[in-house]
Structure 1
Amino acid sequence: MIDFSKDPLTALQAKNEAQKLAFSPIVFHAARTLRDLGILTVLDNAQSQGLSATEISRQTNVSEYGVKVLLEMALSAHIVTWEKPNYVIANLGYFLLHDKMTRINLDFTADVCYAAMMHLTESIQKGVPAGLKELGNWANIYEGLSILPGKAKKAGLNSTISTQIELSLFFCKPYLKINLSVSLILAATPGDGLYNALIMIVMSK
């Protein structure tokens, strides 16, 4: 059982975690770019042998400079490892590439949530969905589910089926019970006939 009455971090650990938080938005975008530009894919194909930056550039048509910039960030985030002169995909990179729910959550965060979250302070202070204007001029997200703009459409949010599900989730074994209102959105992915699940979790009152 986790005791939330105690700080689990030493001062040094806390400082390190604070630095991770400070740079986490940059790492998020670097990870998604590595995936979307095919860099993780070519590294995955190379398996434990890995690839040099030059070879990655050749296979992905991304400039060698761009490849190196992204992979330097990936090294710090443990997405890849370095076995001179090659970069090798690490376990974290593998799951960023292959885990379906991770892919869905990355896209949902980037295409639906990211810009809106910049208005979080205003939302908390005023008690309104201030970030919603990044997606459209609606009173709530449900009004715009079928007409979401830009990349949100490409993520498969058109013609969505929205189902409200009330449930109790147990985190950290059965000791910490949190009631959540979960809106589970199932949307057909254009072209491949598969279904994506985008989960919006809001704390229940």
Structure 2
Amino acid sequence: MKLFPSLKKRYAKEQLTATQAQRLAQEIAFGPVVFQVSRLMLKFGIFRLLADQRQGLTLAQIAESAHLSVYAAQVLLEASLTIGTVLIDEERYTLSKAGWFLLNDKMAQVNMEFNHDVNYQGLFHLEEALRNERPEGLKVFGTWPTIYEGLSSLPPQVQKSWFGFDHYYSDCSFDQALEIVFSRPIRTLLDVGGNTGRWATRCVAHHPQVEVTIMDLPQQLAMMKEQTSTLPGAARIHGHGANLLDASVPFPTGFDAIWMSQFLDCFSEAEVTAILTRAARSMTADSRLYIMETFWDRQKFETAAYCLTQISIYFTALANGNSKMYHSDDMERCIHAAGLTVEETYDHLGMGHSILQCRLRETT
């Protein structure tokens, strides 16, 4: 398995002493408790109180300011002390570095909201999902075959956290991605799995003539039209309704570029190969297909690889039961099987995205 050097250093050899490993084992065993305690320390404003009062606060002061009983504040603070998010000196609690990151790191907040609102209840059914390769945890929200058919019907807070998570990881890469995609002459672009149209709106704002067609489920296109109808360039954003898992549905032709952002991770390897094969059939020698994904093996920082491999479990338990955040070798194998080749690879975009620029593979 190929890994970027920063990851190989961490994953090839044991990093922990026996005592550290024992501690980690207990952190894992109490993981759900650690998560909920830390979430409530944020929600009740205790981390914020401690950040604002650098000299520290007593238990009684924290309980009063957070509008909690002394008992409630005490169990949260004592658990947080041993978790490592707060410190204590004499009778005063202060914020630790880990607590500061939970309070101020946008990625940590997005991940926490996503895990609480979208994943937490469904993860109880992870074992079933792994055995059946179906999103068995999705039953806590509805009876759809995958989460994508149900996005428009999810409870508002769940929807908010799902889209907040999705947009956070994609939007920060768009500026660099636009420069890459539009470095070639493009008048027509097919945005596959375009969701609410955020990439499409960026494209029409970036290029005054480009026409963008979003290929997605009809219910997603309805959400897209609602989101984009009043935005500049909306007249150049079109919809093409399709169930991308239906192998009998061809891709529309005539596009200079095909764009797939955080899309193929929603499908199994066999499905990815089938989708890319249909995309390849719609391409000419002059067209290009761009795949933007957060490949866990191509991360500059190990923390990113950690987050991405954990996110894979969301796909197993709730999204569709058979996809993941891919290793780039797995994706390239699917690309080759579809009759395409990777012409160029761009790494370290935004929060750790890569773009694989693909063209039709020459046949002998």
TM class by shorter chain equals: 0.7 to 0.9
Counterpart in the other structure of 2:59:
53
Moved more, 64-73 or 141-150: 141-150
Structure 1 pair 66/7, CA: closer, same or farther in 2 (3 Å)? same
In structure 2, what is the equivalent of residue 118 of structure 1? 124
Aligned to 2:196: 161
Answer whether contact 2:59 2:92 (CA < 8 A) is retained.
Answer: yes
CA distance in 2, matches of 1:74, 1:32: 11
Deviation of 1:171 after TM superposition, in Å, equals: 3.5
For residues 111-190 of structure 1, the aligned pairs below 5 Å read 111-149=117-155, 151-153=157-159, 155=161, 157=163, 161=196, 163=261, 164=263, 166-167=292-293, 168-169=295-296, 170-171=298-299
Structure-2 residue corresponding to 1:79: 85
Query: Contact conserved, 1:138 with 1:144, CA < 8 A, in 2?
Result: yes
Deviation at 1:153, TM superposition (A): 3.9
- d(CA) in 1 for partners of 2:17 and 2:92? 36
- Decide whether aligned partners of structure 1 residues 134 and 8 sit closer, same or farther in structure 2, where only a CA change above 3 A counts: same
Greater RCO (Cα-Cα under 8 Å, separation 6 or more): 2
Judged with a 3 Å threshold, the aligned counterparts in structure 2 of structure 1 residues 17 and 140 are, in CA distance, closer, same or farther, namely: same
Distance in structure 1 (CA, Å) of the matches to 2:74 and 2:117 = 25
TM-score, normalised relative to structure 1: 0.77
CA apart distance, 1:15: 2.3
Q: Aligned letter for 2:35?
A: F
Gaps of 5+ in 2: 1-7, 165-194, 198-260, 264-290, 313-322, 331-364
Residue of structure 2 in register with 1:202 after alignment? 324
CA 1:166–1:30 in structure 2 vs 1: closer, same or farther (change >3 Å)? Answer: same
Give structure 1 stretches of 5+ with no counterpart: 184-200
- The alignment's TM-score, normalised by the length of structure 2, stands at 0.45
CA distance in 1, matches of 2:95, 2:14: 34
- RMSD between aligned residues: 2.9
Equivalent pairs counted in the alignment come to 181
Contact 2:60 2:70 in 1 (8 A): yes
**Separation in structure 2 between the aligned mates of residue 126 and residue 87 of structure 1, nearest angstrom:** 47
Q: Are the structure 2 counterparts of residues 20 and 111 from structure 1 closer, same or farther at C-alpha, using a change threshold of 3 Å?
A: same
Number of the residue aligned with 2:32: 25
- Larger strand percent: 1
